Chains A and B, each alone.
Chain A
Amino acid sequence: DTEVTQTPKHLVMGMTNKKSLKCEQHMGHRAMYWYKQKAKKPPELMFVYSYEKLSINESVPSRFSPECPNSSLLNLHLHALQPEDSALYLCASSQDPSAWDSSYEQYFGPGTRLTVT
């Protein structure tokens, strides 16, 4: 199974809502990533988890809160978002030991299309 799954596929939320994005992989990968991608732009790294511990936070605002409950699951909790946070949120995983090492092939999920109204 070389698949990364993400739910929901689409999400519309108001600026006062709290919601969560979910990501799951069963490839035994020990690094998991959250990216944000705006239209016609490359993915931008937000967070990296290595062995279920947060190893990289790319100065992401605190209204985004990641969580890695176990080695297969990654969540992104959203609270008090702004309209400019509307984007495609991508989850990825890789067989890692050093989570920031780009030499490991990353497997991406299909993303969650988030719209903040």
Chain B
Amino acid sequence: LAKTTQPISMDSYEGQEVNITCSHNNIATNDYITWYQQFPSQGPRFIIQGYKTKVTNEVASLFIPADRKSSTLSLPRVSLSDTAVYYCLVKNNFNKFYFGSGTKLNVKP
């Protein structure tokens, strides 16, 4: 089965840029990479999605290299309210989709 790998946790300070990487070796060739944010006792919330190169929206950027075996979520100028767990969601080449292991981001004042 394909595996995704994310750092277990990251610390940052308010106002800094944070980059969280997800490794996904067996991603399906025609599938998107999606990132979600989850606060305690809530359901995940969509942040951003991309297929290749770079995607930017009002809250984040997503960088995907040409081989698509990884992706990096970039959060510009984080605030305390960005403290949460961040998951990548991908589909492997067996048509199974699954969340990555999750990265707990702790933003300090």
Contacts and interface: CB of A to CB of B under 8 A. Distances in A.
Interface string B83-109: 000010111000111111110000000
Nearest to A98: B95
A45 B44 CA distance: 13
Interface string A67-106: 0000000000000000000001011100000001111011
Contact of B89 (A44, A102, A110, A113): A102
B34 A105 contact: yes
A88 B41 contact: yes
A42 B46 CA distance: 14
B99 to A, nearest CB: 4
Interface of B: 31-32, 34, 41-46, 49, 87, 89-91, 95-102
Closest 5 CB pairs of A and B: A108-B43, A42-B99, A103-B32, A102-B97, A102-B91
Given A100-B97, A102-B34, A110 B46 contact: no
Nearest to A111: B43
A41 B96 CA distance: 18
Contacts of B31: 101-103
Given A42-B101, A43-B99, A102-B97, A4 B87 contact: no
B98 A101 contact: no
Contacts of A102: 31-32, 34, 89-91, 97
B32 A4 contact: no
Given A102-B34, A105-B46, A105-B49, A111 B41 contact: yes
Given A45-B97, A102-B31, A108 B44 contact: yes
A48 B44 CA distance: 17
B43 A109 contact: yes
A90 B39 CA distance: 13
Contact of A103 (B34, B42, B44, B87): B34
